[in-house]
């Protein structure tokens, strides 16, 4: 009899565990499908590529370059953008800096002096001192001064491809697109223990998941290398200055307004960036992104999307931080329930399903590593699978920790902008060469 009572008392906990396991398994399975979406058929891969030939330049562009405490990288970024392969008369560059950021202002003025001869009167420094002191406010300052037909954003550490404006000009002219999201790719994948998985997140997000979002007409835009008609931006009142993920918020609002967003990821034309330099910086960055998604979820603009499938996709995408936080809670609770509670065999088996999905996700990431390395002429060694395996679960814990931290900040009403430091690891003349030496040390490449 005591055994029967013990089992009965444990049933509610066991049933709750089984339900949570099933939900997390379904979520993980759907996530795997999104990772693989762009690889399902050749037509999707072809539509993801840049055009093979370019149209004559006809579109005028305004590049917005917001920067804050970016002394280490801003000079090189300005020089790279000023050297883009596009007619100077069709290009305007606006660098936006908070008025009290004297170090960045000094570096910007030095860089402008270096490149002013190529872009006379087309490269300007804008400052602002009214709060909030954050990126979306700076972007709105730039939008108010923009003169180009199409506005694009680059971040202070970016290395855009020299022909990226040629690519987008061609897509705009041939397809009549009003908004284009091009690929962004972290490159220094051997610098930190978490860098490889961070790089692969970008790889799958921009190459596959956003491609699926575009097919569904619900795109949470990704940070930079986003091109939107200036008139469209002004129609939707620019960027939300209270939102920590102003890019995703803009994408949701554009989608709700019926503006189709063309997503293009071509390994040859990605904008190169760097992973955060430390674990602490990574957690703060992900906290900001997660909290921003929760803010967009709470705002409710996604409810104005016309189709139910669009709204469900938006809900799934924006609620991802809640699912990650649930995973952080689920693992210790499930282990405790299995050990301490008389759990029926079937429920015990069900509780392990999310772990099997983690194995599948790891396998997809491992294949993605070789795909990424092949596209960028890097050569992982036989140790690569082991190194990825050792870091995989700790990386998931970091993601879950950042999600929990974001939820806690959101519940407490904390909304300050936690900036990510940049050290220029993706901003060298050839960042691939910069990655090969640490790759050889950490992966044993010859």
Q: What is the pLDDT of residues 168-221, one digit of tens each?
A: 999 999 999 999 999 999 988 888 899 999 999 999 999 999 999 999 999 999
Specify if 128 maps to a domain.
no
CA distances from 385 to 119, 186, 222, 373 (A): 47, 19, 28, 13
> Rounded to 10 degrees, what is the CA torsion of 63, 86, 270, 273?
-50
- Closest Cα partner for 118 from 89, 96, 97, 145? 89
Q: Would you say residue 17 has pLDDT above 90? A: no
For 430-444, what is each residue's pLDDT tens digit? 333 333 333 333 333
Range scoring the smallest mean pLDDT among 210-219, 359-368, 421-430 = 421-430
What per-residue confidence (pLDDT) applies to 50?
Answer: 92
Mean per-residue pLDDT for 359-384? 89
pLDDT at 338: 61
For residues 284-295, b (16+ Cβ closer than 10 Å) or e, as one string?
Answer: bbbbbbbbbbbb
Average pLDDT over residues 341-358: 73
pLDDT score of 382? 81
For residue range 211-265, what is the model confidence (pLDDT) as tens digits?
999 999 999 998 799 999 999 999 999 999 999 999 999 999 999 999 999 999 9
Q: What is the mean pLDDT of the chain?
A: 87
240 inside domain: yes
**Residue 16 pLDDT > 80:** no
pLDDT at 427 over 50: no
Any domain includes 74: no
> Does the pLDDT value for residue 40 go beyond 80?
no
In this model, does residue 6 exceed pLDDT 80?
A: no
How many domains, in total, are found in the chain?
1
Mean pLDDT of 268-279: 94
Task: Tell me if 402 sits within 8 A of 286, measured CB to CB.
Answer: yes
Report which of 120, 121, 125 is spatially closest to residue 99, judged by C-alpha positions: 125
Residue 245 lies in a domain: yes
Residue 93 lies in a domain: no
- Residue 325 belongs to domain spanning: 1-59+149-446
**pLDDT > 50? residue 270:** yes
Under 8 Å CB-to-CB from 285, ≥6 apart: which residues? 276, 402, 418, 420
Tell me whether residue 114 is in a domain.
no
Whole-structure pTM over 0.75, yes or no? yes
């Amino acid at each position: 009899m005591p055994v029967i009572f013990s089992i009965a008392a444990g049933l509610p906990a066991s049933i709750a565990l089984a339900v949570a396991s099933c939900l997390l398994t379904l979520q993980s399975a759907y996530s795997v499908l999104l990772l693989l979406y762009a690889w399902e058929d050749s037509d999707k891969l072809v539509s993801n590529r840049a055009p093979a030939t370019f149209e004559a330049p006809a579109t005028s562009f305004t590049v917005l370059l917001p920067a804050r405490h970016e002394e280490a990288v801003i000079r090189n970024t300005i020089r790279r953008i000023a050297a883009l392969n596009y007619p100077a008369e069709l290009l305007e560059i606006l660098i936006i800096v908070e008025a009290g950021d004297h170090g960045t202002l000094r570096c910007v003025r030095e860089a402008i002096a270096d490149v002013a001869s190529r872009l006379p009167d087309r490269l300007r420094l804008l400052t602002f001192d009214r709060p909030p002191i954050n990126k979306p406010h700076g972007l709105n300052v730039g939008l108010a001064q923009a003169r180009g037909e199409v506005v694009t954003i680059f971040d202070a550490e970016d290395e855009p491809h020299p022909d990226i404006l040629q690519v987008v000009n061609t897509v705009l002219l041939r397809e009549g697109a009003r908004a284009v999201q091009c690929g962004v790719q972290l490159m220094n994948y051997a610098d930190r223990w978490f860098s490889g998985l961070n790089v692969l997140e970008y790889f799958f997000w921009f190459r596959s998941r956003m491609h699926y979002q575009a097919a569904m007409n619900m795109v949470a835009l990704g940070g930079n290398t986003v091109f939107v008609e200036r008139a469209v931006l002004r129609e939707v009142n620019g960027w939300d200055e209270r939102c920590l993920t102003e890019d995703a918020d803009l994408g949701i609002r554009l989608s709700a307004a019926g503006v189709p967003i063309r997503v293009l990821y071509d390994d040859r034309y990605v904008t190169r960036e760097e992973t955060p330099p430390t674990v602490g910086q990574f957690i703060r960055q992900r906290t900001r992104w997660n909290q921003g998604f929760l803010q967009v979820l709470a705002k409710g603009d996604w409810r104005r999307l016309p189709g139910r499938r669009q709204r469900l996709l938006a809900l799934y995408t924006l609620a991802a931080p809640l699912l990650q936080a649930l995973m952080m809670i689920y693992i210790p609770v499930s282990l405790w329930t299995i050990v301490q509670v008389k759990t029926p065999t079937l429920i015990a088996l069900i509780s392990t399903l999310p772990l099997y999905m983690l194995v599948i996700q790891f396998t997809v990431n491992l294949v993605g590593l070789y795909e990424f390395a092949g596209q960028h002429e890097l050569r992982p060694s036989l140790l690569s699978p082991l190194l990825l395996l050792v870091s995989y679960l700790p990386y998931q814990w970091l993601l879950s920790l950042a999600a929990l931290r974001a939820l806690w900040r959101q519940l407490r009403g904390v909304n300050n902008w936690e900036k990510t430091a940049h050290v220029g690891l993706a901003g060298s003349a050839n960042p691939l060469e910069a990655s090969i030496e640490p790759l050889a040390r950490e992966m044993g490449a010859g």
